[in-house]
């Protein structure tokens, strides 16, 4: 989250919540805090501090006997109830909140067929978990790693495309990788020989 919702901001939003529209603004601020902040301790502290301050504020406002103060007290009790609910949710489920989906900084810049060719090669050579991993799980791992969606249908279609290839070798991408790696090593060897002269 790029900005943090502080207890001050939450309290300020709560104090203003004296109409349904302003209450919705408070509710949106509360939701942004509870759903958008990864640090559950920070959320708990912010809610707890806001709860304490609003409870004290209710005591001061209740000394005034005006229609405005009664309206504000009514809304503040609702706000405190909302905060209590969020605190209860944190107490019960704070450690079990599912992690947010990882957004990869890396992206696959080849084709899906090339990635599937690589995945199948790794599966067949048993290089990940000694081959004890389902293809859809392996594809899911690479999909998450490279920020690409690989569902069962796209994997099957890509594999079918690979199988339909004609020629001596149907593993175009793996062949290209082998060729490029060999060329690189040849260039490196040549540079090393040049340096020794």
> Given pLDDT bands bounded at 50, 70 and 90, which one contains residue 103?
low
pLDDT the model gives residue 177: 97
CB 47 within 8 A of CB 83: yes
> Given pLDDT bands bounded at 50, 70 and 90, which one contains residue 77?
confident
On whether both 16 and 66 belong to a single domain, the answer is yes
On whether both 49 and 127 belong to a single domain, the answer is no
pLDDT digits (tens, 9 = 90+) for 182-197: 999 999 999 999 999 8
pLDDT the model gives residue 5: 66
Highest mean predicted confidence (pLDDT) among 15-29, 47-61, 69-83, 163-177? 163-177
| CA distances in angstroms from 100 to 1, 34, 39, 143, listed in the order given | 12, 13, 12, 16
* pLDDT beyond 70 at 166: yes
**Cβ neighbours of residue 121 closer than 8 Å, sequence gap 6 or more:** 171, 174
On whether both 128 and 192 belong to a single domain, the answer is yes
On whether both 184 and 149 belong to a single domain, the answer is yes
> Given pLDDT bands bounded at 50, 70 and 90, which one contains residue 48?
confident
Of the listed ranges 18-32, 42-56, 118-132, the least confidently predicted one is 18-32
pLDDT the model gives residue 162: 95
pLDDT the model gives residue 147: 84
pLDDT the model gives residue 174: 97
On whether both 192 and 121 belong to a single domain, the answer is yes
Domain range enclosing 142: 112-196
Higher local confidence (pLDDT), 166 or 64: 166
- Does residue 84 sit within a domain? yes
Query: Average pLDDT for residues 98-120, to the nearest whole number?
Result: 81
pLDDT the model gives residue 3: 42
CB 147 within 8 A of CB 108: yes
Whole-structure pTM value = 0.49
- Taken in order 161, 166, 169, 172, is the CA torsion positive or negative? negative
- Does residue 102 sit within a domain? no
* pLDDT beyond 70 at 100: no
State the average pLDDT for the chain: 84
On whether both 75 and 122 belong to a single domain, the answer is no
pLDDT the model gives residue 169: 94
On whether both 45 and 77 belong to a single domain, the answer is yes
On whether both 69 and 23 belong to a single domain, the answer is yes
pLDDT the model gives residue 2: 35
Determine the distance from the C-alpha atom of residue 71 to the mean position of all C-alpha atoms in its chain, rounded to a whole number: 40
On whether both 88 and 164 belong to a single domain, the answer is no
Q: How many domains does the chain have?
A: 2
**Cβ neighbours of residue 53 closer than 8 Å, sequence gap 6 or more:** 7, 11
pLDDT the model gives residue 136: 85
């Amino acid at each position: 989250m790029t900005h943090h919702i502080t207890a001050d901001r939450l309290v300020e939003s709560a104090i203003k919540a004296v109409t349904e529209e302003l209450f919705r603004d408070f509710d949106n601020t509360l939701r942004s805090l509870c759903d958008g902040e990864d640090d559950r301790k920070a959320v708990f502290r912010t809610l707890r501090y806001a709860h304490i301050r609003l409870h004290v504020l209710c005591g001061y406002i209740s000394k005034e006997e005006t229609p405005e103060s009664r309206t504000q007290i009514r809304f503040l009790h609702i706000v405190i109830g909302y905060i209590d609910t969020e605190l209860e949710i944190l107490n019960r489920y704070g450690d079990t909140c599912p992690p947010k989906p990882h957004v990869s900084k890396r992206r696959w810049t080849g084709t899906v067929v090339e990635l599937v060719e690589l995945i199948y090669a790794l599966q067949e050579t048993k290089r990940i978990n000694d081959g004890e991993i389902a293809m859809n799980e392996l594809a899911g791992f690479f999909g998450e790693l490279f920020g690409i969606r690989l569902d069962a249908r796209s994997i099957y279609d890509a594999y079918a495309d690979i199988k339909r290839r004609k020629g001596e070798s149907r593993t175009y991408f793996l062949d290209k990788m082998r060729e490029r790696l060999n060329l690189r090593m040849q260039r490196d060897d040549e540079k090393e020989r040049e340096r020794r002269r």
